A and B are shown apart, each in its own frame.
Chain A
Amino acid sequence: MSYIGAEVIISPLGDTAEENWNALAQNRSGISFVEGAGYAGEGMYLAKMLALNTTRRFENLLVQALTKVSALIDSQIITSTRTIVIISSTKGALDTNIKDQFAGPAAALTQRFKLANQPITVSNACISGVLAINTAGKLVEAGIYEHAIVIGCDVISDFVVNGFQSLFAVSDKPCAPFDNARNGITLGEGCGAVVLSTSKDVFKEAPFQLLAGASANDANHISGPSRTGEGLFRSVNKTLISNKIDTAEIDFICAHGTATIYNDEMESIAFDRLSMSDIPLSSLKGYFGHTLGAAGLIETATSIQMMRNSELVKSLGYSEKGTSKPLNVITVNEKRRLSAVLKTASGFGGGNASLVIRSI
């Protein structure tokens, strides 16, 4: 069994999981209009960490995250030979040095924190975070390591902004996941972290159980979601079956919900096929924007905060049904004990991944 906890969130909404939770409970968004941003300098909505005005932003965020993690666990495990650090990111330090996106920052982390094992970086587009947590959980369960620290991070760069603009995938308003008027993503930046361990005792605050799940490819298109939700359907189905969990046990779905027309439609089809349309669901992109490789970490950490606080927060930006299949999108904050939460992700390259967090 693998325990999960020590969650860290660094975003425009705050530097700790608690600060972020407080903002979410008040339905405050980290998205703002950033003057001058965008290919033509036209200005655009971004979830940007305006105070993080440094060079080497990616590396600095990794260091901040690991520093915060070490305060939430028995800090001796950081340097243990039985610990692996897994970094989840799509573009790493591209804005600092396009030719050294990952190796330099990973080496800096190793040196600064005296890590015994070289970190592994998972770079699988938008499913990176969920895939990295699943990898960590399985490495721990298989006894290959005792502890795993997973840090997801991506920063906003001209490169990524220009790219999504060239695909006409960026919303002209703050993104509105699953809503009828949605018209694209809002890019975000930030960092999230969790710790996986075979031992409950390394966590200062009570951990939860990770039920690591499967990934599945759509085998359909490199940059567009499947029309049938095939990969997401298969991923969730396998995750539930392999962990012997019934859909009735899932209290909440923390969906991917990028707010593009096709992604959100695809998710509605997959959840309909899974007979999970009635389960309360939200996308956190209305709060954090789409943080790419950090999204799986930030959103899993937020799901754990929801479980700790026994509260579902509303899916920000949603007001009217906007998918062909119904979804139970959360429209008001609600106090509720949560025993099991499903987190999903889908992304470019046709990837889909899912995991379940359960109360102990």
Chain B
Amino acid sequence: MWSVPSLFDPIELGPRTARNRVVFGPHETNLGRGRSISERHVAYYRRRAAGGAGVVVTEEASVHESDWPYEHAPLGVECGDGWQAVAAACHAEGALVLAALGHAGGQGTSHWSQRELWAPSRVPEVNTREVPKWMEADDIAAVVAGFGAAAEVAVASGCDGVEVNAGQFSLVRQFLSGLTNQRDDEWGGDRTRFAREVLAAVRAALGPDRVLGLRLSCDELAPWAGITPEAAAELAAELCADADLRIDVLTVVRGSIYSVGATRPDGHTPAGFNLDLARTVRDAVNAATDGRVPVVAQGSIVDVDQAEWAVADGVADAVEMTRAQLADADLVAKAVGERRREIRPCVLCNQQCMVRDNRNPIVSCVVDPSTGHETTELERIGVTGTPVDVLVVGGGPAGLEAARVASTRGHRVRLWEQSHRLGGRLGTVSLQPGRERFALFADWLRSECERLGVEIETGRDVTVDEIARSPSGGDVAADGTCIVVATGGRPGVLDATVDAGARVVSAAEALEVGAAGLPEGAVLVWDPIGGPTGVAVAELLVAGGREVHLATQDFIVGNELARAGDLAPANARLAQAGVSMHRRSILRSVAPSHAVLEDRFTGTRSSLDVSAVVDAGHRLPDDELWDALRAAGVPSVVRAGDDVAPRTVMEAVLEGRRAAVDLG
């Protein structure tokens, strides 16, 4: 009987067999020490292997000293010990390990190497505008040899194979693409020549019993000169059919020098956006290789259901679920163990896991802040030896996480939420276009708390007296109950003159009521933060038919969105939607029918006819209960989240977790 493969069936990758088809793909972590793989890396990969990943692909290592794209970018020749430790750790947990190898070419930076960039042609790097050196024959030979040498190190370290990057940030792709390869020599006449040379060198170094993977950008989203899906399918089929190269697995990605953000976008791009592309390429590769070379789909695949469908439906043979395994390292174990509902969902926010950033942030995750910090105590939540009664006040992310973890640790937990809805800020965040998945996290927290037996009361107002009465009163504090205050934040105070009758609403309120809930007329969104919120409110209101103005003191709208990869996309969406953007502007006053902006540099004031202003600025802590409890001398009280200081969901979750662990 013909059977449909399952995501959790083993799969042959040439000479090696992976236990399932869930791949933890290569990505920057900033966990490195210098340019080597660190103990933190080992713990990080071991955790995913222990959680059931079939294949772990390590952070890409540069194959040649001419490439130093970010400070802690691993360098192949320095990775031997690290790869060995990663391979040993992951093998012990049953996962295969592939070492990702690459060279960022003209998409690197000269700031660490203090040397010129190397690229096929002199196409400037898009952001830094650095013009690379046009690689000459000996440069090409050196990089090709570097690929071989790095592959040898990977083999000697016990890796199951390597994955050559011809996807994003890749010299190999730059040679393949007409966008970046404008050479008129043999490497331009045949733009695949460099890739073939690299793959041949790597295969020679690997020998016959190691896996050669290729990560290939199959759509550069620039049909005028870039790699198109049609051309990519042909190229992939040709390369995979080459018996000498003997590629064992192909991962389909997209993006070019001009669309870096499209390779791993946030929630503004639908989950599984690459599936059609993967199918196209797989069909061609299958036909050319008689199914010998499995194809891996990549691209915001974060739900097990979608991944299962992709494998069952022949979209791909395996699936990269990288961010999903940052959100829940035990994704595979839970899915296989019929605990699918317990999988903590990736919200596709990119806020903590995108770390190609000058500041070298450590990879982490909004919904699981222990990610990237596996060597610290937070990962070892464990069970308490001294269970206590816990009352959590507030059912936002901090409170729910505190309740969840306290309950996991064996404490007896109650949670009181003032409103009739759990989730707190997660609810309003999920009303933002592109950030709907935050609702899944709220649902998950609630469902986990319920599963763990947390007694939840919504619509439960809390008074200080109730908690803080004298010990004889029999109140919750006096009977030894530990209190976790997680009462969240409240709207900030607009730093502008507000006339009587003027309508100023908070971003949260604007999201709740939508365009229909605001007075008729144009709306000004004042965004002094430049994060996702101001942009989202503007998008929501303009979609609701309003004339929308968005003002910021910055030179750029959404100034802080770069790290998550949404800066250029957000600006494009706003421009396309017709939002009027006022940059370098400071909101000075709001009247019932207009608002006044001041140019930061000239001091010139201008008036906008608007009927309402949305304040997307900073919030304030709602710390009334905390202050009162402290004033009343209540013992055993801790707080977490926005009532400490209003920040993002990550800090709320982290502090909720810490509060629960600190209970003992």
Q: Do A and B bind each other?
A: no
B residues engaging A (CB < 8 A)?
none
